[in-house]
Amino acid sequence: MDERVLLRGLFDAAVAAADPAHVVPPYLPAPPPGRTLVLAAGKAAAAMARAVEGNWPGAVEGIAVTRYGHGVECQRIEVVEAGHPLPDAAGRGAAARFLSAATDLGKDDLLLFLLSGGASALLVEPQPGLSLADKQAVTRALLEAGAPIAGMNCLRKHLSAIKGGRLAVAAAPARVVTLAISDVPGDDPAVIGSGPTAADPTTCADALAVAGRYHVVLPEVARKALEQDEWETVKPGAPLLARTEYVIVARPADAVDAATGRARAMNFAVVDLGDDLQGEARDLGTAHAALARQHPPGVLISGGEATVTIDGTGRRGGPNLEYLLALAVALDGAPNVHAIACDTDGIDGSTDAAGACIGPDTLARARAAGMDARNMLARHDSYEFFRQLGDLIVTGPTRTNVNDFRAMLIGHPGAR
Whether residue 345 lies inside any domain: the answer is yes
Whether residue 368 lies inside any domain: the answer is yes
Whether residue 416 lies inside any domain: the answer is no
Could you say which of 250, 281, 309 is where a domain stops?
250
404: CATH: 3.40.1480.10
Pair 124, 169: CB distance under 8 Å: no
Q: Are 216 and 343 members of one domain?
A: no
Q: Are 336 and 202 members of one domain?
A: no
DSSP string covering 207-269, please?
A: HHHHHHHTT----HHHHHHHHTTTT--PPTT-GGGTTEEEEEEE-HHHHHHHHHHHHHHTT--
Q: Are 234 and 324 members of one domain?
A: no
pLDDT on residue 309: 87
Q: Are 293 and 317 members of one domain?
A: yes
Q: Are strands 337-343 and 404-410 parallel, antiparallel or unpaired?
A: antiparallel
Q: Are 389 and 276 members of one domain?
A: yes
pLDDT digits (tens, 9 = 90+) for 47-65: 999 999 999 999 999 999 9
Which residue range(s) make up the domain with 334? 3-13+253-410
Is the model more confident about 311 or about 126?
126
pLDDT on residue 314: 47
Q: Are 59 and 107 members of one domain?
A: yes
pLDDT digits (tens, 9 = 90+) for 110-162: 999 999 999 999 999 999 999 999 999 999 999 989 899 999 999 999 999 99
Whether residue 415 lies inside any domain: the answer is no
pLDDT digits (tens, 9 = 90+) for 220-253: 999 999 999 999 999 999 999 999 999 999 999 9
The CA distance from 67 to 78, in Å, is 14
Kindly state the percentage of the chain with pLDDT values over 90.
Answer: 95
Whether the per-residue pLDDT at 378 is higher than 80: the answer is yes
Whether residue 260 lies inside any domain: the answer is yes
Q: Are 313 and 351 members of one domain?
A: yes
pTM score of the predicted model = 0.94
Q: Are 203 and 319 members of one domain?
A: no
Over residues 385-393, mean pLDDT: 98
Domain count across the chain: 2
Q: Are 230 and 262 members of one domain?
A: no
242: CATH: 3.40.50.10180
